[in-house]
Structure 1
Amino acid sequence: MATNTPKNAVILAAGCGSRLRPLTDLRPKPLVEVNGTPILYNALRNLEAIGVEQVTVVVGYRKDAIQYACGRRFSGLDINYVESTVFDRTGSAYSLWLARHALLSGDCFLLEGDVFFEEDALHYLTIGKATDIAAVASFGELMEGSAVLLSDDGFISSFRLKQTAANLAANGPSLFKTMNLLRLSAPTLRTTIVPALDDIIGAGATQGYIEELLAYLVERRGLQLAAARCDGLRWYEIDSVEDLRIAERIFTDSPSSVLPYKLQAN
C-alpha cells in the first residue's frame, strides 16, 4: 500500500445509462454486472484494497438501488451518498460540484461509475512525486471519446474531446485515452478544482463534463496534471451493450489474450 494513498474517494454514479438499455431500465448503470460483478462493486473493492477508507457516491437515477446494494458500510469502507435530483439534465461536472464538501476533506480519488478496471490502475496513481495525476492509455483504433496529448515530461498538455480513430493520424502516437480515474491533492482541490466548479455552476453551465473542466484548467489556468500510463492494464469504460460484451471478454480471458481489446477500449 502506497504511503501517499488518499483515504477518500468520490464516485460519480448519477447518470441514466440510456445507451445500456434495456439493461438499465430497472437498474442504474453502476450496478450492471461484468461477469457477475457489478461495476460499482469492482470499484469499491479496488479502493478498499489500496487503502481508501471513505467513499462519497453521487447518485441520481434509481438511487435507492445503489443505496440498497452498497449500504452505509461496504466491507471496510464507509459510504456516504450525495443525491442529484436533476441527473437527467446535468453533466458530470455538476455531479462533482454536488460532492464539493467531500472534495474539501483532503487528497481524493475521483472515479466515474462506469469504468471496470483492475486494482493496479489505482496503484499507478500513487507512484512517483506527482500529487495530481490522471490514468491514461494509448488511444486505439476502435476508441472514441476524450483524449489527451502528453508533454515530454509526462504531463497532460492539452485535451482533445470527442475523438475517434480518424484523429489518430492528425495527432500522431502521443494521443491517449482518458480512463476517468484520477488522484487529486487537497491543495489543488481547495484552490483550483472546487473554486472552478463554483464558478461554472454559478454561471449556469450545469451540463458540462469533467473533461471540459480539466481541459480549461490545464490549458488556460496552468493546472499541472501528470499522466499515469496504464497501457498494460485491463480496463473498460462501459457505455453500451457492446462495451459490456467487450469488458466481459477482457476480464474473462487471460491478460495476454485481451491486450488488443484493452488498447481499443472506448
Structure 2
Amino acid sequence: MKKANEMPVNAPKHALILAAGVGSRLRPLTDLSPKPLVRIHGIPILHNALHHLGRLGVEQVTIAVGYRKEAIQEACGSRFGNVAIKYVESAVYDRTGSAYSLWLARDALLCGDSLVLEGDVFFEENVLRQLIVSEAPNAAAVAPFHELMQGTAVLLSDLGLISEFRLKQTARNLIANGPPLYKTINLLRLSASTLRTTVIPALDDMIRAGATQAYTEELLSYLVETRGLLLAAVRCDDLRWYEIDDVEDLRTAERIFAKAGTLDPTAHG
C-alpha cells in the first residue's frame, strides 16, 4: 500500500486552475483582492492548491485569470516551489462562465492528462491524492451532499460513475428515501484522449453556439448524459475541503481547518 507521503507515480504533470471570476458574494473581501487569494488561517486558497499540486508531482500549472489578474500574477509569479506557472487571461470575465475560461485554456489542455480545479476550493492534500491515484482515466472528487451545502450535486450509478448532474441544489433537494446526492468538489482528472476527442470539441461547439455563460458543470452534464462520458466518482467522504462562495462559507472553512496547519506558507519560492 502506498504511504501517505509518497508521490503518486501516475500523477498528471499538468493542471489548470480556473480563477477568473469576480467573487461578488464575498464582497467587500473581494473588492480589491480576487477570491482565489482570500485566506483561510492566513493561507490564500490558491497557494493551498499550488502547494498540494507540487507535492503530488504536478510540474506545470496554467491559471485562468480575469478579475484582479495582476494580484494573482504577483502572488504566484512564474513559479511556486517546483511548479512552473503560466497564465491565460480573460478580458470578459465579468460576463462569461467557467466553461469559457476552460475554452480559453484549451491549448494547455492538449499537454496530456490534466487536473482541472476551481480556484475557490480549499482542500487537504489527500483529496487531490485520492483523485490522482484513482484507476479511472476520468474522475471527479465528490462527497455526500449535506443540509449546509448548495450548488451542483450528482447521482452515482451502481458502478460508481456519475450518472446525472443536478445544478443549483440546496437542502430542500435532500429527499428522505431518495437517491443519495453527492456534492461536486470541483476537482477533476481528465485523460489526454478525453480532452482531445471529447472535451475540447464540445467546448468549441458551445462557444460557437454562443453559450459563453455556461459553467464547467453544465459542460460535464452534457458530456455525461448525451455524449457517454464515463466519469468516475472519487469519494472523499471523510476528508476536509470546502468551496468558498460567500462569507458564511469562509467561516465554515475556517472551522473545518482549525485543527491543523494545512501547509507551510513559506513554501512559495
Q: TM-score range by the shorter chain?
A: over 0.9
Partner of 1:191: 197
Partner of 2:236: 230
Alignment of 1:68-217 (within 5 A): 68-169=74-175, 172-217=178-223
**Amino acid across the alignment from 2:71:** A
The CA RMSD measured in Å over matched residues stands at 1.2
- TM-score normalised by L of structure 1: 0.94
Partner of 2:40: 34
Report the alpha carbon displacement of residue 69 of structure 1 after superposing the two structures with TM. Answer: 0.6
Report the alpha carbon displacement of residue 127 of structure 1 after superposing the two structures with TM. Answer: 2.5
Partner of 1:58: 64
**Amino acid across the alignment from 1:123:** R
Unaligned runs of 5+ in 2: 1-6, 262-269
1:62-91 Cα offsets, whole Å, 9 max, x none, are 000000110001111100000000000000
Q: Does 1:22 align with 2:32?
A: no
* 3-state SS of paired residue (1:196): helix
1:183-218 Cα offsets, whole Å, 9 max, x none, are 000000000000000000011110000000000000
The CA distance in 1 between the partners of 2:109 and 2:48, in whole Å, is 22
Report the alpha carbon displacement of residue 170 of structure 1 after superposing the two structures with TM. Answer: 6.5
Percent identical among aligned pairs is 71
Unaligned runs of 5+ in 1: 256-266
The CA distance in 2 between the partners of 1:126 and 1:31, in whole Å, is 25
**Given that residues 60 and 83 in structure 2 are in contact (C-alpha distance below 8 angstroms), is that contact kept between their aligned partners in structure 1?**
yes
Report the alpha carbon displacement of residue 110 of structure 1 after superposing the two structures with TM. Answer: 0.2
- TM-score normalised by L of structure 2: 0.93
**Number of equivalent positions:** 255
**Given that residues 11 and 133 in structure 2 are in contact (C-alpha distance below 8 angstroms), is that contact kept between their aligned partners in structure 1?**
no
Report the alpha carbon displacement of residue 143 of structure 1 after superposing the two structures with TM. Answer: 1.1
Report the alpha carbon displacement of residue 126 of structure 1 after superposing the two structures with TM. Answer: 2.1
Report the alpha carbon displacement of residue 102 of structure 1 after superposing the two structures with TM. Answer: 0.6
Report the alpha carbon displacement of residue 114 of structure 1 after superposing the two structures with TM. Answer: 0.2
Partner of 1:261: none
Partner of 1:264: none
Report the alpha carbon displacement of residue 253 of structure 1 after superposing the two structures with TM. Answer: 2.9
Alignment of 1:241-260 (within 5 A): 241-253=247-259
Report the alpha carbon displacement of residue 171 of structure 1 after superposing the two structures with TM. Answer: 7.4
